[in-house]
Amino acid sequence: MATTSKNMNVFYRQKKNSSASTGKKSTKSPSPKHAATFGSDITQPPALVSHGGSLDLKDDFDEQEQVLRQFDMNMAYGPCVGITRLDRWERAQRMGLNPPKEIESLLRGGKVKLESLFDGRV
Amino acid sequence: MEVDSQEQLQRKQSTYLSLDENFEIQKEVYRGQQYSQIYFARLHMMRTLLYSLVPNWKSHLPVCTVLELKEGKECIIFGTLYKHMKLKPCILDEYSKERSVAPLIKPHNFMHQDDYLVLEDESGRVKLGGTKLSPSVYVTGVVVALHGKETSAGAFFVEDVLEAGLPPQIKRPLKSREDKYVVFVSGLSIGRSSSNPLQFQLLVDHITGHLGDEEEQGLAAEIVHLVIVGNSVEISRGLLNGQNLASKDQSRLCEPFKELDILLTQIAASLPLDIMPGSSDPANFALPQQPLNRCLFPGSTTYNTFRSCTNPHCFELDSIRFLGTSGQNIDDLTKYSEAKDKLDFLERTLRWRHLAPTAPNTLGCYPFTDRDPFLIDSCPDVYFVGNQEKYETCLLKGLEGQLVRLICIPRFCETGVAVVLNMRNLECHALTFGTQISS
């Protein structure tokens, strides 16, 4: 069921005016953040997206997290459950798998989630 | 050895190097990881190794992963074996509505003719067909390379198998050595009602040189090391039923340890000794078992010749490498596969380069995240296993000139047999202690 953003705007018009009017401006141009939560053209597996009921605008879907999720999902570096991302990177390094250096700098940078994608969910 | 009866006989010595760091888990932190991590580490290490061996085996064939298999395409795949066993006890059997095939009494071996092997790597798994790979020989957890092709039924027909083979062995310096002996004993089971304290006391007296005349003492002086390979104590089941112990029972709990400590103190005063934990000892259940706590041996730990070691245990004496376990790994192989004797199992673990391939599937194991400590990188000179039914030994020769002495050490409390190894030529003989007085 691929509803375009146009349909969503129509939907919102039926809601309360106060929230709709302020909400409309930000939802008109689909930025990647909102596109993910409103089921847009960009296919996104539901598991990767969670907003726990509330639409948190600063959610997990930012570029850095996306890159780290690709690192989590990469089979070559082994399972990601039960090990922190940095430990997994170091393990891959020690095993000679040559994980990309950008991931290490991203993880040591500090602003990202250190636990893997499935932490606390599996 | 001519010795003046006035002078004291000197015991020979040898340099000892412990290689147990790999088996220690003090630095490990449990973060809720599962066993997939240790399997990944095992698969990665073994696959890298097997990949380097493939050019010498069949260089013309392509290598692919399980998911890349195409019907009829001949190729080589690497992966971990999984053996599906009908009779393997499963927790779900308790909940099945119909009577299951498995009998209520656990058989000592879970093999069945319908068992089949499956090969698994990160991408997927495939059932193995053909007669080359016998399910009675292999167990879950062994990493191999297979040559074959996918059949129309979706299974992989195996034409040939590549095991890692014996690991490379470090060549020992060939200087002529003198006779130096190492004594192995296991399964003392002090605390069991049928154990005879006199037998072990005889062993202690012999090793420390309190028995026999000068010639006998001269022989004892050539013993440089003693290894106690697990199951030194046995606590009676009645005391361990989970209920609070009365104060008189608490002293009964400690008695085996006090007895063991007295005997070990006599030994430690005389020569270096290593004690390994076994399945009945108060150590952790999962492999690698950690060293027995020093508090259990208040008398012996005062000597620096006393060493409490891990199970498995790896050490070097005069640069001869020893590697061995207290028996849990071989006993598990006995339950899930078959061989003509225990030495065969020992040889298989060396050829698979893994001490305990069934860990963590059916053998308790710590969930390591970054390594598999049971992988054997370097071929030992002496490979032993304790707590077996009888004394068996053989010399294994590898294709690259490796020479390994395989030893099965019997349970001392049942057989009264200890094993003596000569480090000069790796020859082995049994030392039997009997206390029957013939009428």
- B352-393 pLDDT per residue, tens: 999 999 999 999 999 999 899 999 999 999 999 999 999 999
Nearest residue to B145 via CA among B71, B67, B48, B69: B48
Q: Answer whether residue B93 is part of any domain.
A: no
Instruction: Please give the tally of structural domains in chain B.
Output: 2
CATH number at B59 reads: 2.40.50.430
Question: Who wins on pLDDT, B97 or B286?
Answer: B286
Q: Indicate if B67 and B116 belong to the same structural domain.
A: yes
Q: Answer whether residue B99 is part of any domain.
A: no
Q: Indicate if B182 and B140 belong to the same structural domain.
A: no
What pLDDT, on a 0 to 100 scale, did the predictor assign at position A20?
41
CA gap B80, B119 in Å, rounded: 6
Q: Indicate if B218 and B360 belong to the same structural domain.
A: yes
Q: Answer whether residue B293 is part of any domain.
A: yes
Q: Indicate if B239 and B342 belong to the same structural domain.
A: yes
Q: Answer whether residue B437 is part of any domain.
A: no
pLDDT tens string B118-127: 999 988 999 9
Beta bridge partners of B147: B76, B160
Q: Answer whether residue B104 is part of any domain.
A: no
CA gap B385, B372 in Å, rounded: 20
What pLDDT, on a 0 to 100 scale, did the predictor assign at position B103?
57
Q: Answer whether residue B439 is part of any domain.
A: no
Q: Indicate if B198 and B70 belong to the same structural domain.
A: no
Q: Indicate if B412 and B338 belong to the same structural domain.
A: yes
Range B401-414 average pLDDT: 95
Residue B298 pLDDT class (50, 70, 90 cuts) = very high
Q: Indicate if B285 and B206 belong to the same structural domain.
A: yes
Indicate left, alpha or beta for B327 from its phi (over 0: left) and psi (-120 to 50: alpha).
Answer: left
Q: Answer whether residue B368 is part of any domain.
A: yes
Q: Answer whether residue B248 is part of any domain.
A: yes
Question: Who wins on pLDDT, A120 or B194?
Answer: B194
Residues on chain A touching B65 (C-beta within 8 angstroms)? none
Phi first, then psi: what are they for B348, rounded to 5°? -65, -40
Q: Indicate if B243 and B195 belong to the same structural domain.
A: yes
Q: Indicate if B68 and B202 belong to the same structural domain.
A: no
A114–chain B Cβ distance below 8 A for any pair: no
A74–chain B Cβ distance below 8 A for any pair: no
Residue B284 pLDDT class (50, 70, 90 cuts) = very high
Q: Indicate if B185 and B151 belong to the same structural domain.
A: no
Residue B97 pLDDT class (50, 70, 90 cuts) = low
Q: Do A82 and B34 touch (CB under 8 A)?
A: yes
Whole-angstrom CA distances from B110 to B123, B134, B327 are 29, 15, 18
pTM of this structure: 0.83
Q: Do B31 and A79 touch (CB under 8 A)?
A: no
What tens-digit pLDDT sequence spans chain A (122 residues)?
444 444 555 444 444 544 444 444 444 444 444 433 444 445 556 556 555 554 555 555 688 888 888 999 998 898 988 888 999 999 999 999 999 998 888 888 877 788 887 877 77
Does the structure show a pLDDT above 90 at B1?
no
Nearest CA in chain B to A82: B33
Percent of chain B topping pLDDT 70 = 95
Of B37, B41, B122, the CB nearest to A82: B37
pLDDT tens string B54-64: 999 988 999 99
Q: Do A75 and B370 touch (CB under 8 A)?
A: no
CATH number at B400 reads: 3.60.21.50
What pLDDT, on a 0 to 100 scale, did the predictor assign at position A47?
59
A84–chain B Cβ distance below 8 A for any pair: yes
How close A28 comes to chain B (CA, Å)? 42
Q: Do B369 and A83 touch (CB under 8 A)?
A: yes
Does the structure show a pLDDT above 80 at B37?
yes
Q: Indicate if B178 and B217 belong to the same structural domain.
A: yes
Q: Do B370 and A84 touch (CB under 8 A)?
A: no
Residue B102 pLDDT class (50, 70, 90 cuts) = low
Domain that holds residue B391: 2-28+169-432
Q: Indicate if B211 and B142 belong to the same structural domain.
A: no
Q: Do B40 and A78 touch (CB under 8 A)?
A: yes
